[in-house]
Amino acid sequence: MTVDGERLVRRLKELGAVGVDQDGRLTRLAATDADKAGRDLFVRWAKEAGLKVLVDRIGNIFAVYETPENSGTAPIMMGSHIDTVIDAGNFDGCYGVLAGLGIVETIMAEGIHLARPLVVAAFTNEEGVRFTPDMMGSLVYVGGMDAEVALQAVSIDGKLLGYELERIGYAGKLDPELPAPEAYVELHIEQGPVLESLGMQIGVVEDLQGISWQRITIDGVANHAGTTPMDLRRDAGYAAAKIMEFVHERAMEYNTEMVGTVGSVHFEPNAINVIPSRATLTVDLRSPKEERLLEAEAALAEELTSISNALGVTARSEILARTQPVQFCDDIVARIEQVAELRGFKSVRITSGAGHDAQMMARLCPTAMIFVPSAKGISHNPDEYTPDRDLINGAHVLLDVVTDLAGKH
């Protein structure tokens, strides 16, 4: 079987034009008018294909294909999200949703009778830009967050999520009568440079990194930059630099098992001729191994104490987010490898460095992911790009895996 690749690429471009502002920037934040327009387009395509569309309380959309023979049995679910970051690319999330829809259409057109229904999910607020936490829709769906709590989330522009979903017409009244999935498979662009650098066509995602986010605040003493001797300073800025160096060096020690980033730094009073009295910085630690994260977190806490004592400053840390690594289903991972080989595609097992709805779905059912290359590793950016042939290759792998999982009736 082959997916209609031309239709998939055309739809990605059409959806990618929804939410483009007058400056040419694509932005579809969750539960905005632009998000509604993107949702409406996906729902229209699903209904035109003859699928039943359900919406739950948190606004997750489920396009369902079932037959009298398999109705009521646990489905095989595909999907991702269609909300975006600010000034986004066309592929992140949207590729998995639209490829899933194309796969259902292929199976219907081929007249194949499956033992299980198929469901294509478009989860709410995966990006977490307008509302927090990220991956909210899938988190609520698997029972990791109460829907009523999530609906009270306040956006960066001061709006309640529940109100905004009502306003755009995507507030389901009840959880849909949909059995928990037998398995979930998510197709996604890599959002990194590994596949392209290795010359691989398919990434077989076997695990997903755990994430530790902290905000560190360092208090020192502001003083004149010209008159205060170096050995008498309590310099919060210098302490921040020591922490930045520590995060980098610690991650380098772990090699491929850890990445560490200081992504945001702010000094007060932030003047060229004043020693900083306060420095605020964020630390992002990621590893596919929980023990590595725990070790790095403990080492960072020790370093904060050491720096405070040595430099006469006060350093404190606040946990912003913490997720454990996810190991995907060995059986589905092996099936993806086998399908890629049968299709003649070069594949490699890979770790996902970014968060995805799949990490939430892994709490509920056997789960795995398929990656296709991202040109230059760019994502969350208008230059995000994957060649058409790679998009179609990934859709073919997903088609075969899903057909295998769903079984012939």
Q: Using alpha carbons, select from 97, 119, 96 the residue that is nearest to residue 107.
A: 119
**Which of 323, 354, 386 is a domain's end point?**
323
Section 16-35 average pLDDT:
96
310 and 348 both lie in a single domain: no
Q: Would you state the pLDDT for residue 255?
A: 83
66 annotated among ligand-binding-site residues: no
Q: Would you state the pLDDT for residue 173?
A: 81
Q: How confident is the model at residue 338 (pLDDT cuts 50, 70, 90)?
A: very high
409 annotated among ligand-binding-site residues: no
What is the percentage of the chain residues whose pLDDT exceeds 90?
95
pLDDT tens by residue, 99-125: 999 999 999 999 999 999 999 999 999
Print the domain residue range for 61.
5-208+325-406
184 and 255 both lie in a single domain: no
Q: Is the pLDDT of residue 313 over 80?
A: yes
62 and 155 both lie in a single domain: yes
pLDDT tens by residue, 199-250: 999 999 999 999 999 999 999 999 999 999 999 999 999 999 999 999 999 9
Given a contact cutoff of 8 angstroms between Cβ atoms, the answer to whether 210 and 294 are in contact is: no
Q: Would you state the pLDDT for residue 408?
A: 72
* 199 phi/psi in degrees, rounded to 5: 70, 30
Task: Measure the CA–CA gap between 256 and 260, rounded to whole angstroms.
Answer: 11
Task: Measure the CA–CA gap between 228 and 240, rounded to whole angstroms.
Answer: 19
Q: Would you state the pLDDT for residue 39?
A: 98
356 annotated among ligand-binding-site residues: no
226 and 298 both lie in a single domain: yes
Q: Is the pLDDT of residue 256 over 70?
A: yes
Task: Measure the CA–CA gap between 71 and 206, rounded to whole angstroms.
Answer: 31
User: How many domains is the chain built from?
Assistant: 2
What CATH number has the domain bearing residue 105?
A: 3.40.630.10
380 annotated among ligand-binding-site residues: yes
Provide the mean pLDDT of the chain: 96
Section 340-357 average pLDDT:
96
58 and 186 both lie in a single domain: yes
Q: Would you state the pLDDT for residue 146?
A: 96
184 and 284 both lie in a single domain: no
- The stretches of 282-347 forming alpha helices (DSSP H) are 290-311, 330-343
290 and 340 both lie in a single domain: no
Q: Would you state the pLDDT for residue 93?
A: 98
Q: Would you state the pLDDT for residue 176?
A: 78
What CATH number has the domain bearing residue 276?
A: 3.30.70.360
**Which of 323, 351, 370 is a domain's end point?**
323
337 and 395 both lie in a single domain: yes
Q: Is the pLDDT of residue 409 over 70?
A: no
266 annotated among ligand-binding-site residues: no
